[in-house]
Amino acid sequence: MKHITKIFTLFLALILSVSAQNSIYVNQISTSGSTTLVQTGSSNTIGSSQTPSEITSDNVVFALSQIGDNNAANFSFLGANLDLASITTGDSNIQKYFANGANNTLAMDFTGNSNTFILNNDSTAQSTTKATLTDSDITFDVTGNSNVMRFGVISGKYNTLDYTIAGSSNTVLSTQSGNPAGLSVGTGHEQTVTITGSSNSLTVAQSGVEKQTAVLNLTGSSNTVSIQQTGPGGP
């Protein structure tokens, strides 16, 4: 957890009716602050795929909760020392995070079915432009079935990715690549994956000249796993 000196605090809470179709666009530029967004109901949006909400700040504490079905969140985070906590509960929700910065802590939690999560550097699901993060810790917990998670991180000298999945027929595609930083402690790419359930699909690609580590803990049947670790010139 980052130690953050708050210059000011921005607290924004949205509590919306279950049947509502609400939308909000956020554009925050500051040197420090704390923001909380809460949406409850169905078919709500925060930002859009055309114009993501944007946090352009250092030393920000940001909490986002969406509770319900068919909700969407599109956020661009630009800055360092971001402390992000995201909770999504429900079915058929879509979250897209586009990140660029250093020393960030991202903690995300999904509970439900048929949800989609994307972490990269733009709003295209198949994007090859990965999130540019350095010295960042990313944790992700999923409980449910038929969820799709796509992680793409590039250029960081040391990022850790730790995710736990409980359920069936979930799909994870994870890429870490770029930025040579040597073989010493505190460099390279690192992933720890824990999957409990059946018929899940995991694809991990790590490339670069850094130290590459993948730790897998699998419990269940009919899971498909593909791990690719390559040196310079890899995908």
The pLDDT tens digits of the residues spanning 206-233 come to 877 767 888 999 898 899 999 988 764 3
Buried b or exposed e, range 66-93, using 16+ CB within 10 angstroms? bbbbbbbbbbbbbbbbbbbbbbbbbbbb
Mention every residue, 6+ apart, whose C-beta is less than 8 A from residue 119: 97, 98, 99, 106, 131, 138, 150, 151, 152, 153
Spatial distance between the Cα atoms of 132 and 102, rounded to a whole number of angstroms: 8
Structure confidence at residue 11 as a pLDDT band (50, 70, 90): very low
In a domain, 17, yes or no: no
Residue 117 has pLDDT above 50, yes or no: yes
Condensed to tens digits (0 to 9), the pLDDT of residues 172-195 reads 888 877 665 555 555 677 889 999
Global confidence as pTM: 0.77
C-beta separation of 174 from 198 below 8 A: no
Residue 43 lies in a domain: yes
* 125 inside domain: yes
Distances (CA, A) of 233 to 179, 207, 213: 12, 8, 18
Is residue 107 in a domain? yes
Domains contained in the chain, number: 1
pLDDT > 90: percent of the chain: 22
Mean pLDDT across 194-212: 85
Enclosing domain of residue 54: 23-179+188-230
Per-residue model confidence as pLDDT tens digits over 141-177: 999 999 998 887 776 667 788 889 999 999 988 887 7
Q: Are residues 132 and 110 in contact, defined by beta-carbon separation less than 8 angstroms?
A: no
Per DSSP, 93 falls in state -
